[in-house]
Amino acid sequence: MISITNLTKDYKTKKGTITGVDNVSLTVNEGEVFGIVGYSGAGKSSLLRCMNLLERPTSGEIRVDGLDLTKLKGEGLRQARLKIGMIFQHFYLISQKTVGENVGFALKAAKLPKDQIAKRVDELLEMVGLTDKRDVYPAQLSGGQKQRVGIARALANNPSVLLCDEATSALDPNTTLSILRLLKKINRELNITIVLITHEMNVVKEICDRMAVMQDGRVIEEGDVYDLFSDPKADLTKEFISSVVSFDVPQPILAACTGSVIKVQFKGAVAGEGIITDTVQHFDVKGNFLHGSIEYIQEKPLGLFLMEIQGRPDNIHRAITYMEGRGATVEVILNGI
């Protein structure tokens, strides 16, 4: 669907050339929700804006549905962009136009007949839950409603790709969740490929299928969201994931532990099994939970627990071996043996 090869974007400044995107190669599959994560200045917005040539890359190739956008200009590029919708962080609605007029703006620019524009606007407003707001102005809307207008506008020309530039960063948590659920609904029902950039891992956890982590203009890690949450490799990825799944235990509590402290992770169906309970029952050890949770990522459970385990060294070793044999990943944080 989207194939990016050796993409570089340089910016000329008074202090010299700054590389915003540094030789990035990525593939986004048809029909998936792909997240690009990074802190401010990582290059994620520059990469996203290159995907529809709002910014023309310095070098490299961008193919959407097999078409190399970097080779297009003028009318050819305009036609290609019609199939790539974009949603912005700050909405960018026209304040002097009604909701219906904002949504229909792109259709009017495409010179569709008035009756077709009216019908399409009705369809889009129903899709985003704003049928009753057609004749009101943006100033009368909440932030979430404004973003729904932005989504409807981005869908006007039946795009195959939807680019989301920090689409929920200006919204409160409850509104963010409703917008993410709307995007997921659009993705599933219309089979629209969605690429979103964010610095919030909860956004990725909620709707993304795969993700890439950017730092200093480069992609430092990418893959299936569940795999990266359960086994991150790069330090920055671990840092981002810790904002959602944290194992920070106060040092005084760790210092008070007399046994071994272990981190236990369960993936998939194993997370629903009573492995820790079985371990304590079958071996002469005692378990003391310090921290634990089960997260649901891509509708699959990921169990994460931090616990103190006490007993004879051989029993502790047998208990850990047993848990690993049942499919758990066990890491010794503090060896009290």
Residue 262: how many other CB atoms lie within 10 Å? 24
Apex CA 212: angle with CA 206 and CA 217, to 5°?
135
> pTM value?
0.89
Report the C-alpha gap between 197 and 166 in whole angstroms. 6
Q: Give the per-residue pLDDT at 185.
A: 94
Architecture of domain 2-242: 3-Layer(aba) Sandwich (3.40)
3-state secondary structure of 72: coil
Residue-wise pLDDT tens digits, 106-155 = 888 777 888 899 999 999 999 999 999 999 999 999 999 999 999 999 99
Q: Give the per-residue pLDDT at 22.
A: 95
Tell me the percentage of the chain whose pLDDT exceeds 70: 98
CA distance to 240, 265, 324, per residue, from 230 (Å): 13, 8, 15
Query: What is the domain partition of the chain in residue ranges?
Result: 2-242, 251-334
Q: Give the per-residue pLDDT at 290.
A: 87
Report the C-alpha gap between 309 and 261 in whole angstroms. 6
> Which of the residues in the chain have pLDDT under 70?
246-248, 272, 336-337
- Under CATH, to which class is 251-334 assigned? alpha beta
